[in-house]
């Protein structure tokens, strides 16, 4: 297993060890002791989520205001461009974003630590995304950062994304701080 640093402090790309042969493949997607050491965190995962979206859908950039969630993200079908944005004002990487393609082919995972906004764009016909969370989802605590904030200038791989009403109302980074 390889852990690759990103431009954001505490955010990592994980390349799990994959065992492949003529029958198919096997990989370990999570092992508590190894991941705690690798991610340098003791945060428990308390919730697993599964999301399916069609090509052109952009979800995010979501976060919780007072109960931030760490997320361990992977794609089991299709491909997405996954994005994490550092919205922690005291962080040395505040206002930076990291994008990575996650797919069923590359089997990479993205660790998004608590305190970051998270979103993704679907670049395949459909994509199934599974992610573990370190805190429970609380709709009253949820917020959304504008996916097209000009200060962030995220280089999304799709034009005219399909957005939910909530994602259309995302606020700018300047409104958060």
Residues noted as catalytic: 62, 131
| 12 Cβ contact list (under 8 Å, min separation 6) | 3, 4, 5, 6, 38, 39, 110, 111
CB 79 within 8 A of CB 146: no
Sign of CA dihedral 42, 43, 48, 54: negative
CB 148 within 8 A of CB 70: no
2, burial (CB in 10 Å: exposed 0-12, middle 13-18, buried 19+): exposed
């Amino acid at each position: 297993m390889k852990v690759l640093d990103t431009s954001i402090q505490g955010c990592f790309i994980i390349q799990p060890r994959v065992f492949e042969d003529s029958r198919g493949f096997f990989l370990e997607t999570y092992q508590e002791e190894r991941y705690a050491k690798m991610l340098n965190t003791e945060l428990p995962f308390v919730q697993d989520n599964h999301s399916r979206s069609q090509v052109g859908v952009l979800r995010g950039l979501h976060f919780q205001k007072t109960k931030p969630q760490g997320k361990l993200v992977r794609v089991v079908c299709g491909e997405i461009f996954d994005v994490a944005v550092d919205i922690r004002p005291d962080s040395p990487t505040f206002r930076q974003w990291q994008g990575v393609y996650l797919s069923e082919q590359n089997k990479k995972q993205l660790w998004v630590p608590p305190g970051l906004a998270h979103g993704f764009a679907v670049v395949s016909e459909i994509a199934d995304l599974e992610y573990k969370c370190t805190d429970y989802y609380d709709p009253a605590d949820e917020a959304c950062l504008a996916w097209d904030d000009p200060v962030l200038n995220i280089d999304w791989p799709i034009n005219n994304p399909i957005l939910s009403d909530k994602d259309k109302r995302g606020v700018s980074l300047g409104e958060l701080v």
